[in-house]
Structure 1
Amino acid sequence: MAIDAGLRRLALRTLLASFPGPSAPDWATDLISDGLAGHVLFGFNVVDHPQLAALTAGLRAARADVLIGIDEEGGDVTRLAHAGGSPYPGNAALGMVDDTDLTRRIYRAIGAELASLSIDLDIAPDVDVNTDDDNPVIGTRSFGADPARVAAHAAAAVTGLQEVGVAACAKHFPGHGATVTDSHLELPVVDAPVGVLRTRELPPFVAAVSAGVRTIMTAHIRVPALTGALPATFSQPALVDLLRREIGFAGVVISDALEMRGSVDYAGSIPQAAALALAAGCDLLCIGARVDLDLVEGVAAEIVTAIGDGRLPLTRVEEAAERVAALAAWARPVPGSVDPDIGYPAALGAVRVEGSLDGLGAPLVVQLEAASSAAIGHVPWGLGPHLDSTEQIRATPAQCDAVSLTRRAGDRSIVFVGRNLHRLPGAPALIESVAAMAPVIVVEMGWPSKWRPRSARAFVTTHGASRANGRAAARTLFP
């Protein structure tokens, strides 16, 4: 049965879709003409800058004020540089350097690059306070574990992006840093009193709002003391009572991708999740990465149905669409000079060395591989591109044998490189076994936990695994 054309258009005004490939299919541009708020770009949409500029120009030809968003956090999460790694360090490195003006300039540089490509919404910065070393999805995307430091850098990042007319997005409200599960895969729970949230999770969001952040993204997490049985994305106490009324945010609330298990497992389907999110106070719904015309039409139809049966007040959808329109009117990317050269010295300043690197010589480098989180995707990392003649091995811990590695190294040192080595199955035992037999240096490119391997000569932390971080680590080992 055909749905009301006016209500369909209203529903589309609250949606961020996506599409596969380096060029937009006709349905993606047709939806823009029909009122779709915008599209989010992913790595599979990006080949190079000329191609991406042509892609965004085609989207804007369908409607000039279409929102074009991207998750460009710098550091480990990059879409523009997904083929080779970001030239900028991520938030953990910036938090370690702790120079808020540098953070502002890094984010301004990211914003200037996006502006040159006619992208006007950066779904960044991540302002979660990463208080759990075992957090599988935030980690180095966070400015740190101290709420005051994260708050200061959150404000600086927002300022840098928005100085060039690119809307920033503080995420993931009310805070994803204390979780030990990934909301892409399940619904995490933060079992903390609201008072703890106010002192631990919320200060960065308050700082971002004070800095004028235009959008805030929800988290598909459950906080029983605040949201009850609901994910925060579907919770009026979280999005209206806390974020709107208490914190005073007047901008656009964006849902995290509705395709994620933390959302869809509760709602039952992506269309049902969309209706719940709008009713709870979201204004702009990010559908996800795997989107086609049928899905977008299904989401729009469910929103219209929810309006008709009373689950979703018409005025709520109109309010959401008006906020999204105001965001699109504000966003005016200002192309400026892009300065990727500031990334490397910033990354170098974040490197910390415990122990001694003297006499390292020409070691055997062993990069211990592990699956990337869904947020990061498949982005190259490590020391490989920055070492010329040094012998390197890439393997999982299960593929390595301590005795064989020691024999292969001979009288050379062994450098283990990894991300989140403390929770990579088999990695701590392997490294400590080798360190008992040979000189070992460890380079940790993930979140720096409290674990330190027994008998290792040195432990190097980079606070990220971007291309800039890898170059900085290589320079530290081999000055």
Structure 2
Amino acid sequence: MGLDPGLRRLALGTLLAAYPGPVPPDWAVELVADGLAGHTLFGGNVDTPAQVAASTAALRAGRPDVLVAIDEEGGDVTRLAHATGSPYPGNAALGVVGDVALTRRVYRAIGTELAAVGITVDLAPTVDVNSADDNPVIGTRSFGADPVRVAAHSAAAAAGLQSAGVAACAKHFPGHGAAITDSHHELPTVDAAPGVLRERDLPPFAAVIAAGARAVMTAHIRVPALTGDGPATFSRAVLVDLLRAEYGFTGAVITDALEMKGATLAAGGIAPGAVRALAAGADLLCIGARVHAELVERVAAEIVAALHDGRLARERVEQAAGRVAELAAWTRTAADPAAWTRTTPADLGYAAARRAVRVEGVLAGFDHPLVVQLHATSTMAEGRVPWGLGPHLDGVEQIRVAALGADPAALRRHAGARPIVLVGRRLHRLPGGPELVDALAATHPVAVVEMGWPGSWRPTGARAFVTTHGASHANGRAAAETLGLAG
């Protein structure tokens, strides 16, 4: 016997799915017509702006108030510009510049681009305070390590997005910045007392709530003092007692992707995780990127089963679906982006990235170098997006090597009399990275360009240390210009 149509529609109204490829398959549109809250777009869904606009129009043909979400943070996390890298610097660069009006303008420009192609929810900004230098998943996605600075820029970012008619979703509550493991792969623990969270991690969330952010995303992190053995996504103490009762948030609570190990390991799967998240107070359940029709139906069926067996109260699911509907209604009545004067990335993003570059040491004598880019893996949040100085170099040779196993003597011979510019991302964490810098600096002038979170590590033998605070297309151009190597 099939699901009760009314309960199935109610369950679907709490789900944010996804689909493969640049064209929405029939099932993706049919589920929207049946009540699915919406879809998240990923890099594989994006080809050209015209194609994305056609895709979102097809989804709206299923239901006009469908939510279309995307992770478009600027900087290292981009979906619209996944083929080239973002023309905007990310949060770390904006935090270093320290101009909240600039942050608002950058996010308004991002929002305008999203609205122009029919995207209604940006799963941004990241408002985590990056208090752990070796945080493997936040880093340059954060405005910084100072809660006051992060709070100010977070509020500006949320306001900028929403001024363009795109709902902001601040993430990851109650704060992912102190984690030293990646919730895509395991359940991180942030062993902090509630008082520490209130002083260090929660001020940016208070700021975005005050700024009117329409949504907040949960974190798949364990905070023992609040969540016990499970993640915050499944914790009523976090989502209801803290976020709603103490901080006064009235918008939609969106989960981080339930396919992530930080959730599935705790719940035993995506469908059970959906039930636990709803019971804890979440409203819109982001399934993840690897979604198909059968998975959506399985999650909906589990929610309906939980309504029947008492794991979920109908009033809770109706409340969740109601908040999602309110979010969708806001996106339909928000400001028309056509009313804004469009500022091109060349006028805004690249200029902002230049302001974020910092140089320690002396760059004199590096005008004709050998550029060596060190291979670095990407996090799942970042995806495989091009980065580095390569697209911006004018008549300068660049080679790519893996730090571990690279032969310093061979690199010296290749460089000859030229100085060496080493370009890295989280270079101090690369196996063999610091050792390679030291080996080359023993015989050659070396400048290091760090395009990840700089932290406290500095290369002892290098003549210059350049920090871009991000690896976007804009950050790469800014570094090349600073070195005098750009065309």
- 1:160 aligned partner: 160
1:343 maps to 2:349: yes
1:50 maps to 2:55: no
**Residue deviations 1:20-54 (CA, integer Å, cap 9, x gap):** 00000000000000000000000000000111111
- 2:484 aligned partner: 478
User: Shift of the alpha carbon at 1:201?
Assistant: 0.3
Structure 1: distance between partners of 2:455 and 2:146 = 15
For the 8 Å contact 1:110–1:338, the answer to whether it is kept is no
| 2:465 maps to which of 447, 459, 468 | 459
For the 8 Å contact 1:22–1:46, the answer to whether it is kept is yes
- 1:72 aligned partner: 72
For the 8 Å contact 2:405–2:432, the answer to whether it is kept is no
Partner AA of 1:23 in structure 2: V
**Residue deviations 1:254-305 (CA, integer Å, cap 9, x gap):** 0000000000011001000000000000000000000000000000000000
1:439 maps to 2:441: no
User: Shift of the alpha carbon at 1:164?
Assistant: 1.4
User: Shift of the alpha carbon at 1:394?
Assistant: 1.0
User: Shift of the alpha carbon at 1:454?
Assistant: 1.4
- 1:322 aligned partner: 322
Structure 2: distance between partners of 1:189 and 1:247 = 23
Structure 1: distance between partners of 2:366 and 2:270 = 53
- 2:372 aligned partner: 366
**Residue deviations 1:382-407 (CA, integer Å, cap 9, x gap):** 00000021111112112411111111
**Residue deviations 1:124-145 (CA, integer Å, cap 9, x gap):** 0000000111101000000000
Larger mean Cα displacement after TM superposition, 422-431 or 167-176: 422-431
- 1:393 aligned partner: 399
- 1:260 aligned partner: 260
1:243 maps to 2:256: no
User: Shift of the alpha carbon at 1:361?
Assistant: 2.5
For the 8 Å contact 1:135–1:179, the answer to whether it is kept is yes
Partner AA of 1:178 in structure 2: A
Partner AA of 1:230 in structure 2: G
For the 8 Å contact 1:113–1:338, the answer to whether it is kept is no
Structure 1: distance between partners of 2:430 and 2:200 = 27
**Residue deviations 1:136-161 (CA, integer Å, cap 9, x gap):** 10000000000000000000000000
Q: Which runs of 5+ in 2 are unaligned?
A: none
Q: Secondary structure at the match of 1:159?
A: helix
Larger mean Cα displacement after TM superposition, 95-104 or 332-341: 332-341
Normalized against structure 1, the TM-score is what? 0.99
User: Shift of the alpha carbon at 1:165?
Assistant: 1.2
Structure 1: distance between partners of 2:464 and 2:89 = 22
User: Shift of the alpha carbon at 1:184?
Assistant: 0.2
Structure 1: distance between partners of 2:128 and 2:297 = 33
1:224 maps to 2:224: yes
Structure 2: distance between partners of 1:395 and 1:291 = 35
Structure 2: distance between partners of 1:229 and 1:266 = 8
Q: Secondary structure at the match of 1:397?
A: coil
Normalized against structure 2, the TM-score is what? 0.97
Where does structure 1 differ by over 3 angstroms across 4 or more consecutive aligned residues?
none
- 1:95 aligned partner: 95
- 1:276 aligned partner: 276
- 1:130 aligned partner: 130
For the 8 Å contact 1:112–1:338, the answer to whether it is kept is no
Q: Secondary structure at the match of 2:266?
A: helix
- 1:35 aligned partner: 35
Structure 2: distance between partners of 1:203 and 1:361 = 44
User: Shift of the alpha carbon at 1:339?
Assistant: 2.4
1:409 maps to 2:429: no
- 1:448 aligned partner: 454
- 1:382 aligned partner: 388
- 2:191 aligned partner: 191
Q: Secondary structure at the match of 2:327?
A: helix
For the 8 Å contact 2:127–2:142, the answer to whether it is kept is yes
Structure 1: distance between partners of 2:121 and 2:343 = 17
Structure 2: distance between partners of 1:205 and 1:435 = 44
For the 8 Å contact 1:171–1:219, the answer to whether it is kept is yes
User: Shift of the alpha carbon at 1:2?
Assistant: 1.4
Q: Which runs of 5+ in 1 are unaligned?
A: none
Partner AA of 1:466 in structure 2: S
Q: How big is the alpha-carbon RMSD for the aligned residues of Structure 1 and Structure 2? A: 0.8
Partner AA of 1:406 in structure 2: R
For the 8 Å contact 1:38–1:67, the answer to whether it is kept is yes
Structure 2: distance between partners of 1:410 and 1:473 = 23
For the 8 Å contact 2:437–2:461, the answer to whether it is kept is no
Structure 1: distance between partners of 2:309 and 2:293 = 24
**Residue deviations 1:156-195 (CA, integer Å, cap 9, x gap):** 0000000111000000000000011000000000001110
For the 8 Å contact 1:220–1:232, the answer to whether it is kept is yes
Structure 2: distance between partners of 1:322 and 1:449 = 43
User: Shift of the alpha carbon at 1:338?
Assistant: 4.7
Partner AA of 2:420 in structure 1: I
